[in-house]
Amino acid sequence: MNAIVALCHFCELHGPRTLFCTEVLHSPLPQGAGSGDISGQNEQAEEEEGGIQMSSRIRSHSPAEGASADSSSPGPKKSDMCEASGEICGCRSLAGGHPGYVSHDKETSIKYVSHQHPNHPQLFSIVRQACVRSLSCEVCPGREGPIFFGDEQHGFVFSHTFFIKDSLARGFQRWYSIITIMMDRIYLINSWPFLLGKIRGIIDELQGKALKVFEAEQFGCPQRAQRMNTAFTPFLHQRNGNAARSLTSLTNDENLWACLHTSFAWLLKACGSRLTEKLLEGAPTEDTLVQMEKLADLKEESEGWDGSEEEEKPSSQPDVGEGQELSKSSPETSLVPDCNSWNVAHRRLSVFRSLRHMRQVLGASAFRMLAWHVLMGNQVIWKAQDMDLVQSAFDVLRTMLPVGCVRIIPYSEQYEEAYRCNFLGLSPHVQIPPHILASEFAVLVEVRAASRSSLYPTLFDDEQSLNKYEFLVTSGSPVAADRVGPTILNKIEAALTNQNLSVDVVDQCLVCLKEEWMNKVKVLFKFTKVDSRPKEDTQKLLSILGAAEEDNVKLLKFWMTGLSKTYKSHLMSTVRSPTSSECRN
């Protein structure tokens, strides 16, 4: 993440000062770079957009050169520092000549470099201005807490001000702030909860250490009574230089700056890796909208549930919404995964990996019959002992449908009606009503033990596990071999039979086909449900869409149930708003 994290302090003599900052070094410096290369490097650094990236090419970040600075260094000079008795004062973190701290991230070849000030003039100016604003005008009520400020020119800042106890300071406390500076405003705002929690943890640790030192000093030599006895003496003359203590003295931690470097470096790395950019081209798909609606419904439902209500809730059978799954099994069956967890890897071999794999296992004619019922919205029933096999079959078959058209009960001990689910997994001993077996709106896949060693050619070693099964696909209305079927089914089969297309390419073909037919569904929905056009016009529209065949019409009507509520409400509002305005006039 291209950002700078800095610890700032409000000095009683010099005002806001930067104590310690950590930067990101994105590319290593060339070996043997001399002083003659500095100007070129600075010019190249200045060309980086935003000013933060240029810190990766400046000279002072080399640990060998350390804190040494010439007369042109933008950092504060020695004359600007506080004078303290024999120790580093409150305006300075590292002693002169200290090489600073460097952490190497081998995964990304990034270095995290910490010192008191950035060496690059523009970066120094940005950090300096953010430090002054965080400890002067940009503060929270009570002068302690987080705040956001900044602009495009000087960067955006997340600042958290806090106090550190000091028995020798005015008011027995000193004022500090931790700031995070970056040029990406949106990224910084989105990182607010993360930064607030982690920086708050660093502050709590500093305050806890300082509080122990403060209490020990007050117990040994109380300062409040001593100051009251010398109330008429100017306070600044009473310090004798001891009040300008460093943060290491206030916390009694000699390794403080090394610990802060570790914390700041981790903060930059973690904050940079927790959020990633995703390019979205065009409007969200219907599947995306439906998934967002389901997540919102689940969140609202979980918030509405109470612990007491959950205990008193009767054992009634909940309804299954679109795209949701409900597993129904006996208590004995539910214990199987726990008792046989060591055997999960073996059992997961008996699964379908893709539509092409399923077509190869079932056979071309049986797969076409099954896919036809899936696309038409008929109930698909699988009877098998292996729950993983049934679940994998449903995971593969559901890829042919929009998300809003999928209603699954993965495994049940009794038959469920078609209005509750269009994918139903059953135990082998479950009895299916005769009218369902004879119905043209259902298809049954029975998984039995194979009567011979191999039912289909084995291409891979992991397919041996499916050879022990025999798959029988039956329906009250079998699909005739010469039946044209829906257009999308023919295109899916063409993609599956084309061996030049990999499985990933076939998956992308499915996505494109679903989007193509969902667009036709949207047009038909607006034409028939919103505009209420006559049947003659509807037939003309279907001909234009290339969906005038019976199977295509049935498919469009079924897929219409998978439209998102957002899209439907948007159409209704845009159509009814002109009418309502005319009525008001």
CB under 8 Å to 383, separation ≥6 — which residues? Answer: 426, 427, 428, 430, 432, 444, 445, 446, 447
% residues pLDDT > 70 (the chain):
70
* Residue 249, CB-side half-sphere exposure with 13 Å CA sphere: 22
252 and 135 share a domain? Answer: yes
- With a cut of 60, say whether residue 340 has pLDDT above it: no
What are the backbone dihedrals phi and psi of residue 182, each rounded to the nearest 5 degrees, phi first? -155, 165
* Residue 310 domain-assigned (yes or no): no
* Residue 338 domain-assigned (yes or no): no
Q: Please, are residues 8 and 18 in contact by the beta-carbon 8 Å criterion?
A: yes
Q: Please, are residues 321 and 407 in contact by the beta-carbon 8 Å criterion?
A: yes
- Per-residue pLDDT tens over the stretch 25-34: 876 544 443 3
Q: Which residue has the higher pLDDT, 224 or 336?
A: 224
- Per-residue pLDDT tens over the stretch 407-419: 999 999 999 999 9
Quote the domain boundaries for residue 408.
355-450+467-483
- With a cut of 60, say whether residue 234 has pLDDT above it: no
Report pLDDT for 22.
Answer: 93
Of these ranges, 70-79, 447-456, 470-479, the one predicted with the greatest mean pLDDT is 470-479
173 and 206 share a domain? Answer: yes
Tell me which of 83-97, 207-221, 504-518 is least confident.
Answer: 83-97
β-strands 442-449, 379-383 pairing: parallel
548 and 434 share a domain? Answer: no
* Residue 455 domain-assigned (yes or no): no
Report pLDDT for 480.
Answer: 60
- With a cut of 80, say whether residue 65 has pLDDT above it: no
Tell me the C-alpha distance between 339 and 342, whole Å.
8
Tell me the C-alpha distance between 65 and 55, whole Å.
15
* Residue type, position 397, single letter: L
475 and 568 share a domain? Answer: no
96 and 219 share a domain? Answer: yes
User: Quick one: average pLDDT of 35-52?
Assistant: 37
CB under 8 Å to 533, separation ≥6 — which residues? Answer: 527, 541
Report pLDDT for 82.
Answer: 52
502 CA to centre of own chain:
29
- Per-residue pLDDT tens over the stretch 138-152: 888 878 899 999 998
H/E stretch holding 167? none
Quote helix, strand, coil % in the chain, to nearest 5. Answer: 50, 15, 35
Structure tokens at 124: 């120094």
Report pLDDT for 48.
Answer: 38
In CATH, what number is assigned to the domain containing residue 425? 3.40.50.12430
230 and 125 share a domain? Answer: yes
> Which of 215, 238, 273 is a domain's end point?
273
Report pLDDT for 39.
Answer: 38
- With a cut of 70, say whether residue 328 has pLDDT above it: no
Q: Which residue has the higher pLDDT, 192 or 339?
A: 192
476 and 552 share a domain? Answer: no
436 and 513 share a domain? Answer: no
> pTM value?
0.50
- Residue 73 backbone zone (phi > 0: left; psi -120 to 50: alpha; other: beta): beta
- With a cut of 70, say whether residue 58 has pLDDT above it: no
Report pLDDT for 177.
Answer: 93
Number of domains in the chain: 3
